[in-house]
Each structure stands twice: as C-alpha cells, then as structure tokens.
Amino acid sequence: MVPSAVSAFNSWSGYLEVVEDALRSQHSNACAENVRKGFQKMTALMKSKEGREQLSKIFVLKAPLANITLSYNNIQYFYQVIYENFQLATQYNEVNVNPYKSGYGIKQVCDIMTKGNDDPLTKLQAVNVYMAQLHGDFKYTDNSYDDMIKYLRREEFDGENFDSGARSWTWQTCTEFGYYQTTDGGPKGIFGDVTPLSVFVNMCTDVFGTKFNANYIDAAVRATQTHYGGADNFMATNVVIPNGSVDPWHRLGKLVSYYTSVVTYLINAVNTNKKNAMPRARTTYPKQDEETAENRILQSQMVRLPTDTVKSGRITVAEVPTMGPPQTHNYDAKHILAVETHFIRQPFDHFNSEDNRTFKQKYYKNDEWAKPNGPMFLLIGGESPLGPMWVKGFGMFHQKLAEKLGATVFALEHRYYGDSVVGGTATDPNPDLTYLSSLQALSDVANFIRTMDAKMNKTSKWITFGGSYAEYLEVVERSFRRYQPQCADNIAKSLFIGS
C-alpha cells in the first residue's frame, strides 16, 4: 500500500466489509449468507467444551482447543485463520498469474459455499482445505497463536520453512502503518465481531516488547498519517494510481484526482493488488564500491516465480488500463539466471551523518533494451525478497514498456528483506529493526537514483514502478521536497506508476 495515497489506520474493519461486498457482487448473496451462518455456528460452539472439541475435529486443528490454555488471543486467532481464506480469494481474485489465474478466487470459494447439502460449517472447512493447496496438501489447520508469536520472534535470515519478511512487515505495521484487518465494524458483518483490534496490539507487544502497546501504535500511525498526508491530502505529482473495486485496499486509496499530474483509475470488478517533525537527511554519503554476487549465498539464487510473491500478499506490477488487458506471463529461467546481482552501499541511518555504518543493498540491472537517451525504469521492492525476474525474463508490463521505450531497467530490494540486511551476517543475524521504516527506504531510493546518475555521468529521466506497499514511492516528490531538498530536482522529474 501507499503511505501517502492511502490513509493509515489502526483498526480497519473496511477490509472485511469489501470482502463481504465482493462475495455478494461477484457471486451471490447465498455465498455471503452461508459464510455468516458458518461463523455464527463457530461462535456458538466456542462457548462450550463439547463445542470446542467439535470445532477441533471439523477443522483438524493442530492445537486442539481442549488441549491449549484457552485465551482470547487463541480464540480470535483461530477465527482469523478461517476468514483469511476469503481475504485471499478476494484480494487476489482473477490475478493473471498462477495459481490465481486458474482458481482460488471468489468463484471457487463461493461455489464450495453454495453447492451441495453440507451444513455451512462443514463448507467453511472445505474452503479451508481448498485454499491450503496454495501451499501444499492440507494436513491440519495451524491455529496456535503462541506458535505464530514464536515464529515472528525468530531473529535469522530466510531459510527452510522460515520467511524473515514476515517479521519485518509485522514491525512496520506495529511502528508505522497499522492496517489491522479487524471485525470492529460490528456484529452485522458476515464474519461477526470475532477479531477486535486488541489481538493485533497483543501481537506487537508479544513479538517486540511491552513498549509496543496500544498507545505507542496509535501515536506511530498518527505520525505516519500526518507526515504523508493520506489519500485526502496527497500532494505528489506525476503519478498514476490504479485501483480495483474488488481489491479491499481500494477503500483506503485515492480514487479521485482534480490534478492532471495525478491520474487515478478505478477498475471495476477486477483486482489490481496486487513524529510530526521529520528529521533532515544527511548530505554526505559513503563511497561506492561496486560489488556483484560472487561468493555470497543469495535468496535470488533460488529462482522465485511471481506466484510466490502473489500468494504471500507481496508486490505486484502496475497494469495501466490504456495498455490493454493483462497478458499471461512467460517465465524464462535461462534469461533470469543470466541477470547479474549488484549491491550498493547504503547508510544504516540516512538521518545521522555521524553514523558511518553501511549495509549492502541488492539491486538488479538489465540494459539490453537501452537506447542512448532512453529513460531509467526502477522497480521498487516491497515486503519480500527481490529476484531477477523483475528486470528480465518474465514479460511483465514494465519490461514490455522498457523494450518499447528503450529503457534501462533496475530493481532495488527493500532494506531488511531478502539479502539487503542492515547489519549482521548469515551466521550472526542482526535482530535490530530500528532502521526499518518507510522514511529510510525512501532515502535508499533517492540515494540509489543519485548514485546511478553519477555512475552514468548524466541526469536521467526516471520512471518508477511499485505495487502494494512498494507503491509508497509515489510520495517521494512531496516527502523529499520537505526533508531532503538536495534530491528534489531529480525526483521531481520522475514518473511513478503504482498498483
């Protein structure tokens, strides 16, 4: 999501309201009402020991409700796990990348909820089993709040059965954005009022410490909203902002613009999702020493298909309506593996010139389509590791556009995700997330553009692409004019396209 082109909230019940509306508008009232009946029966059974044993059996719970210390956190997390199936089906409905282009959308889950003679509770479990196939065969429902907290506390790099990005993104929700998808809209929704804001606040406290309580999170989200302005006070220029009416995130987005330099699209019935005084940035930066991926074990060496990023709620690439309908992507592993990995040195802290520590931020470059006066394309990484397919070999929108316009294509990984770790090594990971913020990431982008221009000995026209959280780059002009004036002239020449 875009911290400037959307509004930041702690408790955001609107997400599930859009899910309900989508089930009704894209399929049937019968689907939505059967979901309601299923959740009503779940909450009724939860009130007795016998009922909890029945729920444990129906949903094949990894942590049977009779065998764990019953707490509000465990109960509310269980409900969240079940309704997340409908969140995924709605948010990625008919996305034109496997596995969602062939299923796992609203039609499929609603067909399960409306066909056959099983009761609604049994149908909820059938949806649960079906959606579990996104990650493999269904074995059980992983419903333990305590296990989830232990997972997010792990301080290590990505590895087998572990995605460090989950911890990093949780940090950003606790310290900047909120966006907690609660049922605080009231009991009239089809999911009832089963998950209040408190369970998400408890998650922040249990993972990161008692400092991260409700008051802290509320102040942090307010600071984000004040600085970036939200959708109502969006002041950047040269931006294209598409939204889809089925995508729940559109509810927070900027849907109308009265300025010719801010172009908004609301695409009906499809999904495109895909402190008040801010510090002044430093004016001196570390000397760059060009590095490649030699002798390093990188996340990118495991070729990741965009299906992985889509199913995990990760970044997607903008598709501007005037370019026509999206095309099926053709994966070319040979081309992807030929892309060289580069690193740029970035400061730990862009706002403390006395701190000389640096880290290596990963990026990719593809200049096979470049023309002498062609533009620079920059794909901004979001809340996941970045792979080489973002610059070559997958026929994405910005790649096709780069070929047409003679552009050089770059992709920059977000700090603290994938291989761009701030401090620490693979054997001694750094648990300190202090320097993980959108402000630091925006400064990474500005320093990257400045460094590439200096390296190429020219001031280029930059067109930047981002989706989901990575679309925050659309705030760069406004934010950088405000607290990093030395970059304003360069950034102001850029065009930002997000989704």
Q: How far apart are CA 371 and CA 278, in angstroms?
A: 39
> Which of 203, 227, 251 corresponds to the end of one domain?
227
Please tell me the predicted confidence (pLDDT) of residue 325.
29
Q: What is the CATH number of the domain that holds 22?
A: 1.20.120.980
The answer to whether the CB of 410 falls within 8 A of the CB of 388 is no
243, part of any domain: no
Q: What is the CATH number of the domain that holds 463?
A: 3.40.50.1820
Q: How far apart are CA 480 and CA 484, in angstroms?
A: 5
The answer to whether the CB of 41 falls within 8 A of the CB of 121 is yes
313, part of any domain: no
Sorted by sequence, the CB contacts under 8 Å of residue 175 that are 6+ apart come out as 212, 217, 220, 436, 437
255, part of any domain: no
The answer to whether the CB of 87 falls within 8 A of the CB of 15 is yes
257, part of any domain: no
Residues 208, 354 within the same domain? no
pTM for the model: 0.82
258, part of any domain: no
Please tell me the predicted confidence (pLDDT) of residue 22.
95
301, part of any domain: no
Please tell me the predicted confidence (pLDDT) of residue 7.
63
465, part of any domain: yes
Residues 215, 357 within the same domain? no
> Which of 227, 249, 275 corresponds to the end of one domain?
227
Domain holding 399, by residue range, is 333-495
Q: How far apart are CA 425 and CA 171, in angstroms?
A: 20
Characterize 323-354 residue by residue with b for buried, 16 or more Cβ atoms within 10 angstroms of its Cβ, and e for exposed: eeebeebebeeebbeebebbbbbbbbbbbeee
Residues 207, 339 within the same domain? no
DSSP string, 236-298: --SEEEEEESSSGGGGGB-----STTEEEEEETTS------SPPPPPS--PPP--EESTT---
Q: How far apart are CA 306 and CA 320, in angstroms?
A: 19
Which residue in 180, 179, 171, 177 sits closest to 224, CA to CA?
177
Count of domains in the chain? 2
Please tell me the predicted confidence (pLDDT) of residue 121.
98
Q: How far apart are CA 19 and CA 83, in angstroms?
A: 10
386, part of any domain: yes
Residues 349, 206 within the same domain? no
Give me the residue label for tokens 């590095």. Answer: 291
Q: How far apart are CA 276 and CA 3, in angstroms?
A: 15
The answer to whether the CB of 309 falls within 8 A of the CB of 315 is yes
Sorted by sequence, the CB contacts under 8 Å of residue 29 that are 6+ apart come out as none
* Angle between helix 120-132 and 72-91 (nearest 10): 70
> Which of 187, 204, 227 corresponds to the end of one domain?
227
Per-residue confidence in pLDDT tens, the chain, 499 aa: 333 456 666 788 999 999 999 999 999 999 999 999 999 999 999 999 999 999 999 999 999 998 888 899 999 999 999 999 999 999 999 887 778 888 999 999 999 999 999 999 999 999 999 999 998 899 999 999 999 999 999 988 777 677 888 999 999 999 999 999 999 988 899 999 999 999 999 999 999 999 999 999 999 999 988 888 888 877 777 788 888 889 888 888 888 888 888 888 888 864 444 433 344 444 555 566 655 444 343 444 333 333 333 333 222 222 222 222 233 334 445 455 568 899 999 999 999 999 999 999 999 999 999 999 899 999 999 888 888 988 987 778 889 999 999 999 999 999 999 889 898 766 677 778 999 999 899 899 989 999 999 998 887 788 888 877 765 544 444 445 444 444 444 444 445 555 5
